[in-house]
Structure 1
Amino acid sequence: MRLLLDQRLLLDQRSEAEDVDYSYVPELSDELESLILARFPRSEHWKLYLLNKHFSDLLKSGELNKIRKEIGFKESSIFMSPSGQNCWWACDGLFKSCRKLPELPSLDICFINGDKESVCAGSHLIVSGRETFGSVVWRFELEIGKWFKGPSMIDPRCLFASATCGTFSFVAGGIGMDTRVSNSAEKYNPETKSWELLPRMHQKRKLCSGCFMDNKFYVIGGRDEHNNQLTCGEAYDKDNNTWE
């Protein structure tokens, strides 16, 4: 990685000093350069943005994420938001590197002070909450380091279960805009930046928990439409597109 950075800096300097001979600098192919950068920790990508325009454009294009998937490179990240604040922190899985993300741009007092729920999908951080005129979803795209509003869920909800399989995120249950307890479920695709309706759960539930394990999205516990406590759970098999 050090060789790659040194090489790129020297090549950038070459355009400013054409009379200097840099012929001794080994030149890497674009393919090899991308393979090296794809292994660079995501938590350190902000440094590449500052290095030069070439690296910045490569990150924004999403090409590095595609290469990561092809070579099976996985990296965990943790996102945290202090209570009562409108900012998020991104940390690597071992908390060796943490950085503050740009402040979420919503100025709505209901959203800032209200409860918010979050889930990750690929390189997107999805934060849902409620603004003065209804529910809202904000997303942070790690590649370009910016917040965007939307897309809204097909069935807006709160107090729902959520989980991620890494590539996609899933939400299920909760309370809809009509204040009714829901059994609907959706999947978010970061590549298309869109939600897709899934088959409905067998049981309506709110205040439930979710996790993804063994290729299934589990929704556990919560309360039903009569506010009775539930001790059951359901699992969505994404390969068969069914709940059990």
Structure 2
Amino acid sequence: MEQGLDMSSLIHVIGRDLTMKSLMSLPRYNYARIASLNRSFRELIRSGELYRLRSTHQVIEHWVYFSCDPLKWEAFDPVNEKWMNLPMMDTDLGIQFSDKESMAVGTDLLVIGNDMLGPGIYKYSLLTNSWSQGLPMNEPRWLLGSASFKNIAIFAGGVDRNGKIMDAVESYDSETGTWKTLPSMIKPRKFSSGVFMDGKFYVIGGISSNDSNPLTCGEEYDLDTQKWTEIPNMSPGGGGPRMAPPLLAVASNELYAADCAAMELKMYSKKNKE
């Protein structure tokens, strides 16, 4: 630590408040360099305080995470057109070749797959720029429907290590790194997709049993009432036992689906519920 420097002010000449405002407006890809300046800046980045301040002031950056190698990930900043190589994952061989889901939530990137001991979770922290083994779900599983909003992600359904299709639902809080069990879905399902829309969580499509019949319904979870509602005709269905989850995206609180077979982009009608 530098002698004679007031570490509480960060940039001594302008003071802590102006320092934080200046750092808050910088693109996120600069934070690794900022953390290398001295211990005070490094501890600031790792504390998460700067990210919470950005969230409060609605400073939002949408990064995209890619993996073209089982253990290698990259992040892309589409606004500034910057790439960042993440550290290599340090894990066993099992998860490399298993089905995996990934979810960016808050300052974490979660990778959920099937390792040698069953469903496993590996977590990349943007704060420390490192991978670690995350806390397991209360009911470990994979092949889930999931979506995130701010620092919360919800994971619904999936299969356990015995292949049982689940109706279990859990939320993950990136600020605490902990899991919370939520009310179960109406139908068990795997290979489903999840989205947040209008402040509610939706799980759509998938397969409910091993007879491979696809589900065309969706389910809506109200975070305030903590209740599920089934919504018919929310997914076009199709596919087979190894079907991929529906290709969905939400933009401006409107739900879109890509139909690869028909080469069409469809928008869900909330009014007509189809």
TM-score of the two chains, using structure 1 as the length reference: 0.85
**RMSD across aligned C-alpha pairs, in angstroms?**
2.0
State the distance in 2 between where 1:190 and 1:218 align: 20
Task: Rate the CA distance shift 1:50–1:121 in 2: closer, same or farther, 3 A.
Answer: same
- Counterpart Cα distance in 1 of 2:55 and 2:123: 21
More strand by share: 2
For structure 1, the 5+ residue unaligned runs are 1-11, 16-24
**Which of 3, 18, 24 is the aligned partner of 1:38?**
24
Structure 1 pair 217–93 and aligned structure 2 pair: CA distance change class (3 A): farther
**Cα distance in structure 1, aligned partners of 2:112 and 2:18:** 39
- Structure 2 match to 1:237: 222
Structure 2 counterpart of 1:3: none
Amino acid paired to 2:47: S
Question: Matched residue of 1:75: which SS?
Answer: coil
Aligned positions of 1:203-218 closer than 5 A: 203-218=187-202
Instruction: For residue 212 of structure 1, report the CA deviation from its aligned partner.
Output: 1.1
| Residue correspondence of structure 1 range 72-111 to structure 2 within 5 A | 72-82=58-68, 84-94=69-79, 96-106=81-91, 108-111=92-95
**Is 1:175 aligned with 2:164?**
no
CA distance in 1, matches of 2:95, 2:153: 22
Give the Cα separation in 2 of the matches to 1:72 and 1:172: 28
Residue 199 (str. 1) matches residue 178 (str. 2): no
Does the 8 Å CA contact 2:147/2:154 hold for their aligned counterparts? yes
- Structure 2 equivalent of residue 135 of structure 1: 119
Task: Tell me: CA distance 1:236–1:93, structure 2 relative to 1, closer, same or farther (3 Å).
Answer: farther
The count of aligned residue pairs is 222
**Partner Cα separation in structure 2 for residue 120 and residue 164 of structure 1:** 7
Unaligned 5+ residue runs, structure 2?
6-10, 230-274
Of 203, 207, 211 in structure 2, the residue corresponding to residue 223 of structure 1 is 207
* Contact 2:151–2:175 (Cα < 8 Å) also in 1: no
For residues 224 and 172 of structure 2, the distance between their equivalents in structure 1, rounded to whole angstroms, comes to 16
Letter in 2 for 1:206: K
2:47 maps to which of 47, 56, 61 = 61
- 1:120–1:26 distance in 2 versus 1, CA, 3 Å: closer
CA contact (8 A) 1:141 1:147 kept: yes
Task: Tell me the percent identity.
Answer: 34
Report the 3-state secondary structure (helix = DSSP H, G, I; strand = E; otherwise coil) of the residue aligned with 2:19. helix
SS at match of 2:29: helix
Match of 1:184 in 2: 168
Aligned counterpart, 1:19: none
Alpha-carbon contact 1:218-1:235 (below 8 Å) kept: yes
1:47 to 33, 37, 42: 33
Secondary structure at 1:163's aligned position in 2?
strand
Q: Which amino acid aligns with 1:78?
A: V
Native 8 Å contact 2:99 2:143 kept in 1: no
Question: Does the aligned pair in 2 maintain the 1:162–1:209 contact within 8 Å?
Answer: yes
Deviation at 1:46, TM superposition (A): 1.4
Match of 1:240, SS state, is coil
* SS of corresponding position for 2:155: strand
**What SS does the corresponding residue of 2:32 show, helix, strand or coil?**
helix
Tell whether the 8 Å contact from 1:160 to 1:172 is kept in structure 2 after alignment. Answer: yes
